[in-house]
Amino acid sequence: MKKLPDLEAWAIFAKVTETGSFARAASELGLSQATVSKAITRLEGRMKTMLFHRTSRRMSLTESGHAALDRAARILAEGEAVEAEVAEQSTSLRGLIRVTAPMSFGVSHLAPILPDFMARHPDVVLDVHFSDEMIDLVAQGFDMALRISTLADSSLLARRLCTVRILLVGAPAYFERHGRPGHPRDLAGHRALNYSYSRGGSSWRFCHKRHGEFAQAMPVSLLANNAEALAPALRAGLGLALQPEFLAWEDLQSGALETMMEDWQVEPIALHIVTPPGRSRPARVQMLIDYLVECFASAPWAQVGGKLE
């Protein structure tokens, strides 16, 4: 198997040539003189040739050393440049941030608040991916995700921004035609508009402070893998749905939808910001996290109580 090039040793070789001595190279690189000497010896062993003529008084490049110098100097320069650029980006508010968010929530609630962040930080580039799939942040190179779910990957760092109520909603005209349920058992005669990824499927589970838990299966009229797609059928009075409050909020305010059975609660969901493992993150990413925390803390549908998990 072919070995990787000894890039560190070539960079040390370039620095020795630049400074003219092992001691000065060691000082500039923050290494011991022994480490510098071993790196040159290691290179000469790999190349099976001498890179320096050494005497007690002076040191000069051999023919092989001269042949290698230009490329070795580029290795040193490129290494110094990439470290300087990455270090500068990690502390400055410039560069790329890759974000993923659920489709409905992302389009309705994340996208509208991004222009203000972009105006404040014009040198930051946002790459936003909307999907209801569970994206692998590390494998796909994302800096952060907004997730509304129970988090399964404990290696990720998560900050809970808020909890979101799940509400039983329908159009006033629907309730006029089909009646207003007061207990989950009353739902047996109603039609469900269902989100494909809901935890209970077609069986809706509720909890009451005094009466405990109750689950009720319902016939499904519409099944969609995007909860926002249920809204037109809801407004048209074609069934009931369990919707997160952030999706139903405007329709509830306008009267297009009503809530039922408010004393029977559905387990709420939580909105999280999730980042890859490791506590250190670029300043631009932390700035976006702080901005989102500030924005969602004032959302009218948010039950705020953010914490690290």
pLDDT, tens digit, 9 for 90 and up, residues 192-242: 999 887 777 778 999 998 888 999 988 899 999 888 899 999 999 999 999
Residue 128: CB atoms within 10 Å: 15
Contact (Cβ atoms closer than 8 angstroms) between residue 102 and residue 148: yes
Residue ranges, comma separated, of all CATH 3.40.190.290 domains in the chain are 93-309
Separation between Cα atoms, residue 221 and residue 238, nearest integer Å: 8
242 CB contacts (<8 Å, ≥6 apart)?
Answer: 166, 167, 168, 169, 195, 198, 204, 266
**Fold of the 7-91 domain:** Arc Repressor Mutant, subunit A (1.10.10)
* Burial of 194 per CB tally in 10 Å (0-12, 13-18, 19+): buried
Residue ranges, comma separated, of all CATH 1.10.10.10 domains in the chain are 7-91
The predicted structure's pLDDT at residue 309? 38
Q: Report which DSSP code applies to 113.
A: G
The predicted structure's pLDDT at residue 225? 85
pLDDT, tens digit, 9 for 90 and up, residues 139-173: 888 999 999 876 665 667 888 888 889 999 999 99
Cα-based torsion angle of the residue sequence 44, 47, 49, 54 in order, rounded to the nearest 10 degrees: -20
Contact (Cβ atoms closer than 8 angstroms) between residue 247 and residue 103: no
pLDDT, tens digit, 9 for 90 and up, residues 64-110: 988 988 898 888 888 887 877 776 665 667 889 999 999 889 998 99
Is it true that domain 93-309 has CATH number 3.40.50.2300? Answer: no
Contact (Cβ atoms closer than 8 angstroms) between residue 233 and residue 239: yes
